[in-house]
Structures are given as C-alpha cells and as structure tokens.
Amino acid sequence: MDIIKVSSNSRTSAVAGAIAGVFRDNKLAEIQAIGAGAVNQAVKACVLAKGYLAEDGFDIVFTPEFVDVNIDDKVRTAIKLTVQFRDGEEKEEEKEETEIFE
C-alpha cells in the first residue's frame, strides 16, 4: 500500500477521494504531510473522506503520529495520519460473515 503524500497545494477533494479509494481497497490508508499548510489540507481531506466512507457504511477514525522521513539526504519530521476502522468494527463484520456462511 502506498502512502498518500499531501502538500499545501493539494486539492482536498482529490486527496479525500484517494483516501476513500485506498481505504476501500485495503481497509487501511496512510497519509503523510510535512508543514502546516500540508497538514491543514490533509486534515480537511480526512474529514471529507470520512463522509464519503460513511455513505458506504464504514465507521473510521484517524490516528496522527510524528514520523521521520528522509528527503534529499535530510531528515524531516512529518505528520502521518492512519485511517482505520473504529475499534471492533472490522472484527464484527468478520464475525457476521462467518455466521452467514455457516
């Protein structure tokens, strides 16, 4: 799975669509942003993606963390937002599928 990289010039709707698409495929998405403007765009895109995915019945959360990344042989600190199911939701879906096939 690729990390979705966001800049301060990124269109929030395009990033939100990418987040939703990656999440639908992998049930997990990671977004990376460096700098205040990029983090702002990333957070707004996450809010939009949450709405897109809610329409499909996905209840998701975003977990932020600091990560170090190498850019041009320099270490920079980035914000990584991990998109995942709210606690327990994926397990319940797996349980329901198992019960259906029994």
- The total of structural domains in the chain comes to 1
Q: What is the CATH number of the domain that holds 24?
A: 3.30.110.20
Measured CA to CA in angstroms, residue 10 lies from 21, 80, 95 at distances of: 17, 16, 39
The DSSP symbol for 62 reads: E
Parent domain of 52:
4-101
pLDDT score recorded for residue 90: 57
pLDDT tens, 48-97?
999 999 999 999 999 999 999 999 999 999 999 999 998 755 544 454 54
**Torsion sign across C-alpha atoms 89, 52, 82, 66:** negative
Q: What's the angle, vertex CA 88, arms to CA 84 and CA 92, rounded to 5?
A: 110
Sign (positive/negative) of CA torsion 101, 98, 28, 14?
positive
pLDDT at position 98 is 43
